[in-house]
Amino acid sequence: MGETQKILQGPRHHTSLKKPLWVVLTVSVTSMLLICTHMYPKHGKSSSCHGLYSTRGCEDALSKWLPVHVRKFTDEEIAARAVVRDILRTPPFITNNSKIAFLFLTPGTLPFEKLWDEFFKGHEGKFSIYIHPSKERPVHISRHFSDREIHSDEVTWGRISMVDAEKRLLVTALEDPDNQHFVLVSESCIPLHTFDYTYRYLLYSNVSFIESFVDPGPHGTGRHMEHMLPEIAKEDFRKGAQWFTMKRQHAIIVMADGLYYSKFREYCGPGIEADKNCIADEHYLPTFFNMIDPMGISNWSVTFVDWSERRWHPKTYGGNEISLEFMKNVTSEDMSVHVTSVGKHGDELHWPCTWNGIKRPCYLFARKFHPDTLDTLVNLFPNYTSTAV
């Protein structure tokens, strides 16, 4: 009888525990919902977690506490990032012999050679000149430019050949260990300041001046190609002008890159995906540096351009548009402008320009100028240039 009683009491004892257990679970779930309601209060109709039976917001909120899935890098990405890290750890080596390399990307003769000659005069040993003529050998009037042509090839606007020309200039200039900063300029580009000002501005800056910004429109992020995945995600895709200046470490990194460059070589071009018109020189370096060293670039270019006409190419200034007032306005501008492809006429982004954390004028160079502006610019040059850093 005693054993029978114990057996019969067993289930009653187990049943007596069930009720408190469900009470505890109910209280726990309710408490969690109340906590979510407190942490994520209602904001209009799209509340993230409100009401006892609305758990969608809570699930979203709680998901933030869970481990985030991170894509595993490929072997090629791991190797590329290891190389980049090692190069970036190399400190700059600035000496009395340090030079700035000026990389001229031009179809042929340089119409502003006389103006550049005034800019370089008296500063021999502080600069190097390299010229990539893509169509015809230039005729020179300045000794600074004589015999400075490098091995060149055909360049087509909007194609990877433009990036190849830039890399050709970089690798040639890197052969001189005294070249510590590299400036890409075109045949329609002019200097805005004295050489001394430009030398100090670039050589003692803590960043490279590479434009890189998000353009959410069809001619920005809309140009991202699915073929670039997984190495280049859409959220990493950037846009910017090709006219860069960069430190030696960054120039070496560009030459060492094969992985990300290959994605643009193969997949950034017209007609590769639907009606996308990807332009390699506008996206490769801005995207590349945004991914590998975003804090090491300025995100704006020190070369002024005027996109006010909203065409495929920036405005070209003629002789009747050049005045001392105009040039002083350009040289003193301290807000950079970035035009997106959002909206009918393109939205503008305006960013303040800083040099090592100090607000400074943005631009050291400017384009595009028609050859008939040469004489006026040469006459005005001593008056519109600045000598203070």
Mean pLDDT of 218-244: 94
pLDDT at 117: 97
Closest to 223 measured CA to CA, from 340, 343, 120, 61: 340
Q: Which has more confidence, 21 or 270?
A: 270
pLDDT at 188 over 90: yes
pLDDT at 67: 54
257 inside domain: yes
pLDDT at 4: 41
- Which pLDDT band holds residue 71 (cuts at 50, 70, 90)? confident
pLDDT at 28: 57
- CATH code, domain carrying 278: 3.90.550
- Which pLDDT band holds residue 21 (cuts at 50, 70, 90)? low
367 inside domain: no
pLDDT at 41: 46
pLDDT at 385: 84
Q: Which range among 68-72, 294-298, 349-353 shows the weakest confidence by mean pLDDT?
A: 68-72
- Which pLDDT band holds residue 270 (cuts at 50, 70, 90)? confident
Domain extent, residue 220, equals 75-303
What whole-number distance in Å separates Cα of residue 381 and Cα of residue 303?
A: 17
- Which pLDDT band holds residue 20 (cuts at 50, 70, 90)? low
193 inside domain: yes
Mean pLDDT of 347-360: 93
* Residue that the structure tokens 């400190």 belong to: 91
Contact present, 280 and 268 (Cβ < 8 Å): yes
- Which pLDDT band holds residue 39 (cuts at 50, 70, 90)? very low
The total of structural domains in the chain comes to: 1
256 inside domain: yes
- Which pLDDT band holds residue 387 (cuts at 50, 70, 90)? low
321 inside domain: no
Mean pLDDT of 181-196: 97
Contact present, 305 and 362 (Cβ < 8 Å): no
213 inside domain: yes
* Residue that the structure tokens 């209280």 belong to: 27
Q: Where are the alpha helices (DSSP H) in the chain?
A: 2-39, 56-63, 75-88, 113-120, 160-174, 195-203, 248-256, 259-267, 280-292, 324-332, 374-384
Mean pLDDT of 321-326: 95
pLDDT at 30: 54
- Which pLDDT band holds residue 347 (cuts at 50, 70, 90)? confident
365 inside domain: no
Q: Which range among 36-40, 53-57, 174-178, 354-358 shows the weakest confidence by mean pLDDT?
A: 53-57
Mean pLDDT of 253-268: 96
331 inside domain: no
pLDDT at 96 over 60: yes
pLDDT at 196: 96
pLDDT at 103: 98
3-state helix, strand, coil in the chain (%, to 5): 40, 15, 40
pLDDT at 345: 73
pLDDT at 314: 86
pLDDT at 158 over 90: no
Closest to 123 measured CA to CA, from 209, 205, 191, 208: 191
